[in-house]
Amino acid sequence: MTRDEFRQAVFERDGHRCVVCGAPGADAHHILERRLFPDGGYYLDNGASLCEQHHIEAERTTLSVEEIRQACGIPESRKVLPPHLYDDQPYDKWGNPIMGNGMRTKGELFDDPSVQKILAEGGVLGLFTKYVRYPRTHHLPWSDSVVDDDRVIESLDAFVGEPIVVTVKMDGENTSLYNDYLHARSLSPRKHVSRDWIKSFHARIAHEIPEGWRICGENLFAEHTIHYRNLASYFYAFSVWNDKNVCLSWDESQEWFQLLGLAVVPVLYQGPWDEEMLRGLHKPVHDGCECEGYVVRVRKAFHYRDYRRCVGKYVRKGQVGRHDFWTGQVVRNELR
């Protein structure tokens, strides 16, 4: 839809009335911010006719996404999400994830001055934690294992002409370390024996991580689908994020990895973008172990909002996670 078609369709569906209070509709509101969508988000089920007051409340997020969908009669099966967001995760209007306790984590638009202003007007900035869910990594177009809700990167333009770094995609649990907390891809503090080692390791280095920064990497203590026999550590780092939600350049990240004494995901290639080379880069074995695939990132720094354009992955054919990992026996990987 075009902007005008979207506006007309939303008003017609809602009878030109605010879906919340029945007053005359003043705005065809985007339930989720259009900037979150690669195509502008002009979908009927991402729209709601709102009066001026309820439009302000929706923008300030004091009127929730779920309340608006319910008022519009949009069922869960028809909710519209940007392709890089998670279907099982509630979000506010601006794409900030909402946790089960009502607290929120910072999404890709959180630091935008206009978003900061309107969230401040709504009095909700105090609901945000400094912890950030690691974003979904999209598959490269030639990835051999795209399944179900996986996403494929829409454009390679951000890579073309740029220096890149390609690293081994390791088969562990994505983990983020702060100076006072750690979490997996989900921010919930679920207890599991596979996380005991990383908690002890984190306690030894946490004081060296700057306030608001995070170190991201793989917790490799337990076998998932690949059994490692020659690990330098049970934690392999792959990125550093500062308090502005910027992923540091690869060179700056290396300095931090060295400072903290961290093992680093193995590098397969560093140099200019070369699609032909990348298409043939995967090898089934690396350093004596099976290789799940590889991850490509631009060498320079980038903001959280640009992650889905600046990072991509290739996954080997047939790679499937263990469905019994959380309930089955934990098999410990092996150190050197």
pLDDT of the residue at 322: 56
Contact 287, 263 (CB under 8 A): no
pLDDT of the residue at 287: 76
Assess whether 52 and 117 both reside in one domain: yes
Boundaries of domain holding 90? 3-127
Assess whether 272 and 144 both reside in one domain: yes
Task: Encode pLDDT of 41-53 as tens digits.
Answer: 999 999 999 999 9
Instruction: Specify the number of domains making up the chain.
Output: 2
Assess whether 122 and 262 both reside in one domain: no
Looking at residue 195, which CATH number applies to its domain?
3.30.470
pTM for the model: 0.84
pLDDT of the residue at 326: 60
Assess whether 168 and 115 both reside in one domain: no
pLDDT of the residue at 285: 81
As a whole number of angstroms, the distance between CA 181 and CA 197 comes to: 14
Low-confidence ranges of the chain (pLDDT < 50): none
- Of 93, 127, 161, the position where a domain reaches its end is 127
CA distances from 270 to 141, 153, 175, 187, 278 (A): 20, 21, 24, 32, 11
pLDDT of the residue at 323: 57
Structure tokens at 69: 């969908």
Assess whether 50 and 179 both reside in one domain: no
Task: Encode pLDDT of 57-85 as tens digits.
Answer: 999 999 999 999 999 999 999 999 998 88
* Residue 21 located in a structural domain: yes
Assess whether 160 and 304 both reside in one domain: yes
Assess whether 159 and 295 both reside in one domain: yes
Assess whether 63 and 162 both reside in one domain: no
pLDDT of the residue at 317: 86
pLDDT of the residue at 273: 97
pLDDT of the residue at 299: 98
Assess whether 56 and 153 both reside in one domain: no
